[in-house]
Structure 1
Amino acid sequence: MDLGEILRILRNRWYIVVPMLALAVGLGLGTYVLVPNTYTTYTMVSLLAAPTTSKAAAVDTGQDNPFLNFNGSLVATADFLGRRLQSSDTVLQLKAAGITEEYTVALAENAQGPFLTITLTGGATKEHVLASANQLVKVADTTLTEIQKQNNVAEKDRITLIQVIPPQKPETESKEKLKLVIVAGGGTAALAFVLTFVVESIARARRRKRLGGEEVTTAAGAAAAGPDIEGTMVLQLPPKPKAAVAPVAPPQRPLPPKDEPIADAEKTQRLRLPSRPVGSPPQDNRKQPGQGAPQQRSGGAPRTGAATTYQSNGGDRRGQDAGRVNGS
């Protein structure tokens, strides 16, 4: 099936294609309008060493600054906190608290310290996404403190949490929305094409079946046809015999007329023999007017020098005497 036939089928079944395409466009627009937009934002927090640790480091360096003391133990603590925030119990508690957006907590890429990136996706409005991000930062700080309290860590030895990057302006996330639009509109359009070719296939099958039944009826050659729907009797007449054509005689060669025999050029040969040399007859032997035939010599040779002609016909070449002159 080539492109031309596909277009012809779509044109013939326009009463299926056009309504289905209109429905596909309507579903696509309706999905785009009804499905709410989703937004995404992120924030970053960091862990700081305990005051006692900073003071112990200040004895050696002379600087009591917690931002100068990012050791490996803080990175392990940050990873522990991120896994705790993504546990099932914490997710349920946050949903009960009003944080309905999906979020992920992970160590910052290419970071050499205890930095956690918190990403939120969803929300009906941008304001709600920003509020959920700030609330999630507070929950992370509270969770870190509770973990240390449960392990009887003194307050002076507790690790603290600080917000490095505040929640950024939410951006519209159109990827998921476009997926729904494509599924609604594109799926309906594909269904239209499939339905069109299914209907065309069924119609062709019925047409072939009907034509096959007509061929069987014609081959049977029923003499008495059944009544038509309107009551008309249809009679099938035998075909008319073809008129006999007289055979054409092959062309014959015309025969020559009987009174004028004509020698065949292919079978007749004429031979003309030269006359025999004879001497001049004496004057007294020449034919005189009123006298008979000239006398012959003792050897039987004629006195005159006339020529003799012989004729040979076809396969018989025995040299029959066609014409004699002077009695020879």
Structure 2
Amino acid sequence: MDFADVGRILLRRWPITAPLMLLTVAAVAWAMLGVPQQAKVTGHVTLLPQREQYSPAIGDTVTQNPWNPVTLADVIEVRLSSAALAEDLFERGYRGEWTVSVINTGAAIIAIEVLADTETEAHRIIDVLDDLIGEEVVTRQESFGLADGAKITAVPLSDADLVERDNSQRRRIAVIAAGAGLVTTVAAAGLAEWLSRRRRRAAAGY
């Protein structure tokens, strides 16, 4: 059976397929118009390198920082992307999804893209992740006994947050509704066709 055969069955069983197709169209329309848009907010935190003007006093023991902004940012990216952190924040009432990436511009910029039902919730997640970045920067360096001038510092760029409306959830639900409707319609038409042929064969004595 090819697509032409399926099309002929759908047309022949239009009393069944027409209502199902209308329901499918209605479900897709509801998904595209009725499902709320989500908010996508991208926040940024830059890791500043050790101060260039830092110079130890004569006779001081100098401890070199084993981190540079990029390597430290890479480690933090792994922490922020972990399933354990996502589960912990979910249990604390944060509702959203996020992805983390590192932009290397000499200093390192950590970009956090959050998808949530509301802009307020997305900003809540950005704020808590900014705090975690600050804690990680301090924790990863504190065991080395570094002078302040030798430390990498984290600076959230809250004025650089990018806010967008996201329709990916709408599209995902619309695709699911269309697929489910099409499968149901074809299955119903196929079942009706099979039952009809079975009755005809029974009437003919087969």
| TM-score, length of structure 2 as denominator length | 0.75
* Distance apart, 1:8 and its partner CA: 5.4
Q: Which residue of 2 aligns with 1:76?
A: 71
> Structure 2 residue aligned with 1:176, among 145, 155, 169?
169
* Structure-2 separation of matches of 1:143 and 1:73: 14
* Distance apart, 1:124 and its partner CA: 1.6
* Distance apart, 1:88 and its partner CA: 3.8
* Distance apart, 1:131 and its partner CA: 3.6
* Structure-1 separation of matches of 2:119 and 2:50: 36
Q: Which residue of 2 aligns with 1:87?
A: 82
Q: Which residue of 2 aligns with 1:56?
A: 55
* Distance apart, 1:16 and its partner CA: 0.7
Confirm or deny that 1:37 pairs with 2:37. Answer: yes
> Structure 1 residue aligned with 2:156, among 159, 163, 184?
163
After superposition, the CA RMSD in angstroms is 3.2
1:103 counterpart letter in structure 2: W
Contact 2:43 2:162 (8 Å CA) reproduced: no
1:56 counterpart letter in structure 2: S
Q: Which residue of 2 aligns with 1:185?
A: 178
2:76 counterpart letter in structure 1: L
Confirm or deny that 1:203 pairs with 2:202. Answer: no
Say if 1:137 and 1:167 are closer, same or farther in 2 by CA, change over 3 A: farther
Rg comparison, structure with higher value:
1
Please state whether the residue corresponding to 2:55 is helix, strand or coil: helix
* Distance apart, 1:196 and its partner CA: 0.9
Contact 2:48 2:107 (8 Å CA) reproduced: no
Contact 1:44 1:166 (8 Å CA) reproduced: no
After superposition, give the CA deviation of every residue in 1:81-139 in whole Å (9 maximum; x if it has no partner). 2222233443344334543222222221x634322222212x12123223432332232
Q: How many residues align?
A: 196
Say if 1:50 and 1:97 are closer, same or farther in 2 by CA, change over 3 A: farther
More helix by share: 2
Contact 1:23 1:188 (8 Å CA) reproduced: yes
2:170 counterpart letter in structure 1: K
Please state whether the residue corresponding to 1:170 is helix, strand or coil: strand
After superposition, give the CA deviation of every residue in 1:55-75 in whole Å (9 maximum; x if it has no partner). 139xxxxxxxxxxxxx98222
* Distance apart, 1:208 and its partner CA: 2.9
* Structure-2 separation of matches of 1:118 and 1:4: 49
Unaligned runs of 5+ in 2: 57-65
Say if 1:164 and 1:107 are closer, same or farther in 2 by CA, change over 3 A: same
Say if 1:90 and 1:211 are closer, same or farther in 2 by CA, change over 3 A: closer
Q: Which residue of 2 aligns with 1:100?
A: 95
Write out aligned runs for 1:93-172 (5 A): 93-108=88-103, 111-121=105-115, 123-149=116-142, 151=143, 153-154=145-146, 156=148, 157-164=150-157, 166-172=159-165
Q: Which residue of 2 aligns with 1:14?
A: 14
* Structure-2 separation of matches of 1:166 and 1:200: 63
* Distance apart, 1:23 and its partner CA: 2.1
* Distance apart, 1:192 and its partner CA: 1.0
* Distance apart, 1:34 and its partner CA: 5.3
Identity %: 22
Say if 1:188 and 1:181 are closer, same or farther in 2 by CA, change over 3 A: same
Say if 1:5 and 1:76 are closer, same or farther in 2 by CA, change over 3 A: closer
Contact 1:28 1:182 (8 Å CA) reproduced: yes
Unaligned runs of 5+ in 1: 58-70, 214-328
Q: Which residue of 2 aligns with 1:239?
A: none
Say if 1:98 and 1:152 are closer, same or farther in 2 by CA, change over 3 A: farther
Contact 1:130 1:170 (8 Å CA) reproduced: no
1:85 counterpart letter in structure 2: L
* Structure-2 separation of matches of 1:5 and 1:92: 50
